[in-house]
Amino acid sequence: MEKKSIEYVLPEEIEKRSFEIIAAELAERGITLPAEQDPVTRRVIHTSADFDYAETMTYSENAVEIAKNLIKNGADIVTDTNMALAGINKKVLASFGGEAHCYMADADVAAMAKERKTTRAAISMELASKLEKPVIFAVGNAPTALIQIYELMQERDWCPAFVIGVPVGFVNVEAAKELIMETDVPYIINRGRKGGSNVAAAICNALLYELKRIN
Amino acid sequence: MEKKSIEYVLPEEIEKRSFEIIAAELAERGITLPAEQDPVTRRVIHTSADFDYAETMTYSENAVEIAKNLIKNGADIVTDTNMALAGINKKVLASFGGEAHCYMADADVAAMAKERKTTRAAISMELASKLEKPVIFAVGNAPTALIQIYELMQERDWCPAFVIGVPVGFVNVEAAKELIMETDVPYIINRGRKGGSNVAAAICNALLYELKRIN
């Protein structure tokens, strides 16, 4: 077999070129993203190679600025999967004083979920709601996590600092996202079925990298 | 604000219903997946809510059977991201005697990559190629990992037991996948730009759950 080769692109060049390609293809499609949202939506497209996100990513008013300010002031991030936790740049987050958490694999979370006949994700959100500092909830998997956040907001005098709502799937996913959009919580949500732990992590990283770039 | 509620679906029911919806929509689109590949492609759609995968997932001959036999006989899985590692069901893998590894965050991998002006993913694949047991390479992020696997196959008398090749992106991603498809290695690859760590983990889990279901 004849050996083939691919033009070698330096690691640091790969990302730069990728974003240039995304920009060019967005332009071809006649899509102009609002300046504030642009780095976030582009990073989601970068992580999925899916331009549908340019049409479905939804931001509450000044969402990106609010989320960036939270991180700059040391907010924590709580995810609903260990995959999302693994994908978030925790070093950059720590440089602002924040920590990332995921309670999904904790033994007591599993036990409580079983006892209360609910999901571990719902229990995880409840635990996170008790953290005594501002928390960005980054939900990439379980619509039940978003539903739980909504229920907690109704039951108690509590509102999360921020919700990144990008669960993926076919059962209750769209409805759970709509619920959050009806509240006053600042959010970044991907309407529809699409999302994922990779998308949740990409949104967090886009915010972190914007802050790092400016600082 | 009037409190809304969403029909509560038991955790174990959510996945079942999701797969029923996927089956129905595949049928609507007139897509019949080959029986062997069906559980794998469906789980990829489940993790992405993206039916494009039904058209682009590509399998070498008997790929699913080969991969399942490898796992059944205790093969390890090496990923190119900690996200994919986090997503793989390591408990089920361990029940067959296998372990999952990711070398990306190792300090010596970063040092070697810098010294040799390549990516950490490429160095990780080289390290994995020295493991003295059958290894399934699960690449969800870095095309350079697939290129490195190809180069190692050309340079040495070495062939990986199996390649799951689903990096995502815009630079060299499609070409790297095509390279692997030209070799004799058994593979599951998603042609085109799409893929991701979540997709790599979903493919591994589909294989693991098929084996668990049968055993």
Chain A residues inside the 8 Å CB shell of B169: 14, 18, 46, 49
The Cα–Cα gap between B43 and B45 comes to: 5
Residue in B4, B119, B198 nearest the CB of A197: B198
Quick one: pLDDT at residue B215?
Answer: 59
Chain B nearest-CA distance from A134, in A, is 24
Give the separation between CA A175 and CA B6, rounded to whole angstroms.
7
| CA–centroid distance for A15 within its chain | 20
Name the residue of chain B whose CA is nearest to A105's CA: B86
Using pLDDT thresholds of 50, 70 and 90, give the confidence band for residue B2: low
Confidence of residue B27 (pLDDT cuts 50, 70, 90): very high
Report pLDDT for B169.
96
- Looking at chain A from residue 2 to 61, which residues have their Cβ under 8 Å from any Cβ of chain B? 3-4, 6-7, 9-11, 14, 17-18, 21-22, 46-50
Check whether A121 has a pLDDT greater than 70. Answer: yes
Q: Is A186 on the interface with B (CB under 8 A)?
A: no
pLDDT of B17: 94
Q: What percent of chain A has pLDDT over 70?
A: 97
Read off the pLDDT band of A31 (50, 70, 90): very high
**Both tokens of residue B194?**
């799409």
Q: What order of strands is seen across the sheet that includes strand A187-190?
A: A57-59, A187-190, A162-165, A135-139, A76-79, A100-102
Task: Write down the mean pLDDT value for chain A.
Answer: 94
* Beta-ladder partners of B78: B101, B137
Sorted by sequence, the CB contacts under 8 Å of residue B151 that are 6+ apart come out as none
B117 part of contact set with chain A, CB < 8 Å: yes
Owning domain of residue A122: 57-214
Taking all residues of chain B, what is their mean pLDDT, rounded to a whole number?
Answer: 94
Instruction: Report CB contact under 8 Å: B49, A195.
Output: yes
Residue B110 lies in a domain: yes
| Chain B CB contacts of A172 below 8 Å | 6-7, 9, 14
pLDDT (mean) for A121-150: 96
Quick check: B91 contacting A, CB < 8 Å?
no
Q: Reply yes or no on whether the pLDDT at B7 is more than 80.
A: no
B73: pLDDT strictly greater than 90: yes
Q: What is the CATH number of the domain that holds A172?
A: 3.40.50.10230
Query: Is the pLDDT confidence value at B48 over 90?
Result: yes
Chain B residues with CB-CB distance to A3 below 8 A: 154
* Residue B200: closest CA among B68, B55, B47: B47
ipTM over 0.85: yes
Q: What is the mean pLDDT of residues B94-120?
A: 94
Among candidate residues B41, B42, B44, B46, the one labeled active-site is B46
B38 found inside a domain: no
**What average pLDDT does this structure show over B106-116?**
94
Answer whether residue A1 shows pLDDT above 70: no
- Report how many domains make up chain B: 1
**Contact residues, chain B, for A173 at CB < 8 Å:** 49
Does residue B178 surpass a pLDDT of 90? yes
**C-beta atoms of A182 and B11 within 8 A:** no
Report residue A215's pLDDT band, with 50, 70 and 90 as the boundaries: low
**B133 within some domain:** yes
Q: In chain A, which residue's Cα lies nearest the Cα of B51?
A: A194
Minimal-distance CA residue of chain A relative to B147: A6
pLDDT tens digit sequence for B124-175:
999 999 999 999 999 999 999 999 999 999 999 899 999 999 999 999 999 9
The pLDDT of residue B74: 98
Question: Residue B142 falls within a domain, yes or no?
Answer: yes
| Nearest by Cα to B89 from A82, A108, A88 | A82
* Residue at B41 is within a domain: no
> What integer pLDDT is reported at residue A14 of this predicted model?
86
Is residue A38 domain-resident?
A: no
At A141 the pLDDT is 95
B77, B79, B85, B89 alpha-carbon torsion, rounded to 10°: -30
- Does residue B87 sit at the A interface (CB-CB below 8 Å)? yes
Which pLDDT belongs to residue A152? 96
Q: A32's torsion region: left (phi>0), alpha (psi -120 to 50) or beta? A: beta
The single-letter DSSP state of residue A88 is S
Say what percent of chain B tops pLDDT 90: 89
Whether residue A214 is predicted with pLDDT greater than 80 in this model: the reply is: no
Share above pLDDT 70 across residues of chain B, in percent, rounded to a whole number: 97
Any idea which of A78-82, A110-114, A175-179, A211-215 has the lowest mean pLDDT?
Answer: A211-215
Residue A118 inside a domain? The answer is yes
| Smallest CA–CA distance from B12 into chain A, residue | A119
- B12 pLDDT band, cuts 50/70/90, is confident
Q: What is the pLDDT of residues B183-212, one digit of tens each?
A: 999 999 999 999 999 999 999 999 999 999
pLDDT digits (tens, 9 = 90+) for A33-67: 999 999 999 999 999 999 999 999 999 999 999 99
- Cβ distance B170 to A49 less than 8 Å, yes or no, reads yes
- B20 lies in some domain: no
* Positive or negative: CA dihedral A102, B44, A188, B169: positive
